[in-house]
Structure 1
Amino acid sequence: MKQYSLIFVFLWTFSSTFCFSQTESSSIKEDFKPSITNQPGKEFPQVNSQGYARFRIEAPQADSVRVSLGLGGRGGTKLTKNEDGVWTGTTEGPMDEGFHYYHLTVDGGTFNDPGSKNYYGSTRWESGIEIPAHDQDFYALKNVPHGHVQQVLFPSPSTGTSRRAFVYTPPGYGKDASKRYPVLYLQHGWGEDETAWSNQGHANLIMDNLIAEGKVEPFIIVMTYGMTNEVKFGGLRDFKVDAFQTVLVDELVPYVDENFRTLADQKHRAMGGLSMGGMETHSITLNKPEVFSRYALLSGGIYTPEELKDSTKPDLIFISAGSKENPDRVTKAVSALKEAGFNAVSYVSEGTAHEFQTWRRSLYELAPILFSNK
């Protein structure tokens, strides 16, 4: 993988940072409700029907409080202190639908919002806020049969330790001991970990709902940590995929095939990922085409016919991005792949950037066709 491609992806990541001020507007609807990502019983932060977010922090001894939104946390909403020592503020403009990381900057120090649940992103546990989306039904918690997300610890001789993965098994997995399933190895982005796709992405709920609606044949999803060599932002050109490739291909895949009822062949094995996970997917699938037959890059670069011409031909290539990212690059790449005879599909998430709503929608579009024979 070319280094500039990896750096480019992370520039997308930080381009979605939000910069708002405390300015209130008479056009803001006062229909604010607590975010669904709040701690139990906490009233703030709140969101309204237009996508504005409002914050309330009790810090009577503080001189300055700011809410930094988005990966990277630059800029943000400056809060105003009242006579009781309570700081409040509302974003100047509406935010994109879906999930966003944020944290507090109090007198120059970085803290999480005690009103919000925490999510691992930006290489730390960040606060999170959910802006209601018009299409949120596809990842909503519904009264349907649910699969299971379980933690596994698998031996990793190459790193000298046991490593963690989360495995989604679909509803009914435990009922028929003779049934075997395809597997998707699904990777997180830079600064996140193996909890991201379940906690922030709701991958399990997306699958549960699709299966309940009869839109997808059930498959297993495996999510593991993709940073085997720790690289901080700014040093990404030093990241090499080799160590993680060994963990994934030589250690995790055999473990999953041995401990779960998989269809343990290349035809029924896929790899995909968002952002950095897409770049890892790009490299590993090119290096190991005999292991995976279906590839998915979610805001994670593209494939070209030239780099695939000497490889085993994949059964599916899926490439996606948000409309605020680089949709033309995605659609042009897929057109070129189709012209070269590849089964390639593009998807553009309307109105979103380098963020989880793009990737939730991408998984929703990908899952029904991933292992389809149609």
Structure 2
Amino acid sequence: MTQAIAATATTEDFGSLADGSKVQAIVLKNNKGVSARVISYGATLQALHAPDRKGDIADITIGYDDLKGYVDTPQYLGVTVGRYANRIAKGKFTLDGKEYTLATNNNGNHLHGGLKGWDKVNWTVKSVKDGGAAGEASVTFTYISPDGEEGYPGKVIAEVTYSLNENNDLTVSYKATTDKPTVVNLTNHALFNLAGIESGRSALEAKLQLEADGYLPTDETAIPYGNIAPVAGTPFDFTSPAIINDRVRDARDPQILIGLGIDHNYVLRGGVTKEPRLAVTLTDEASGRGMKILTTEPGIQMYTGNFLDGKIPGKNGRVTRMGDAVAFEAQHFPDSPNQPSFPSTRLDPGQTYTQTTVHHIFVAE
């Protein structure tokens, strides 16, 4: 009896930056038709291919075909976001009595690590591993963020590992340490369309269930007020499966009308956990492709691509518009350094920041 070949990891060239440094692409592939291409620039999920119920394989995450797209027109597509994912109000926070000032790059607030966040650096490839006996192929990237980078205190040493197994689990795990008290909040910013990015169908036609009874209302600049509001009775309610578009086009809640879509943090049941637990079930009923997202994080930012304006060409020259893809960014809450009631994002010397988020791909009957 022939033993099945385990998931594989292969390395490819993905171009060079202006300073001459090489960007690598690592392709993780299993025997079920699932493959992920991850590039070192931004530790970015550049492509994710998955089969539908007929066995036809399609790319289900938007992005660019080449390095130039990621460098010239950054839209956080598939990137690792750091040192702080999401927003910090007015680009300021206080830690141990000292105020720190960050770049204000989004409506007067600090967004996704600032002017040159971790999405805009070329991470070092630490290791590339084939599946072997464990059946799991992986790549680990590292980045050293110097003390004072983008205004943050402390040198932070970060690792991001992407792994793929024969169960169709694409797992993204993070580690970070610091030499001074600081704040850390990491996430992956992939935007998915389970119908396939070449299908011509909106990602908002998918059916969604979110394991969250509350969300964070925000002001017009997407900064949370600080309270947790119940989703019950609002268009934010996905506690039972619902078509995303039916909620987004619902005019009952001005929070959605602010951004012409959803760009809000959901408060997941259970808070921070040691092991990943179910947060999202997303299904495209036409193709049968589905994805379950499990995470150790207390929140998940749902973003319906509100700022995709149809002007920037992506893969195969296709432009992307609002609704062409949707993100579920597992993370701590936005503006936590200024919100004492939110789960803390503080990281001290001697501690290790960790996060694990699993994207389980399946085919619905």
Whether TM-score is above 0.5 comes out as: no
TM-score, normalised relative to structure 1 = 0.22
Structure with higher helix content: 1
Task: Decide which structure has greater strand share.
Answer: 2
Which one scores higher on RCO, CA 8 angstroms, separation ≥ 6? 2
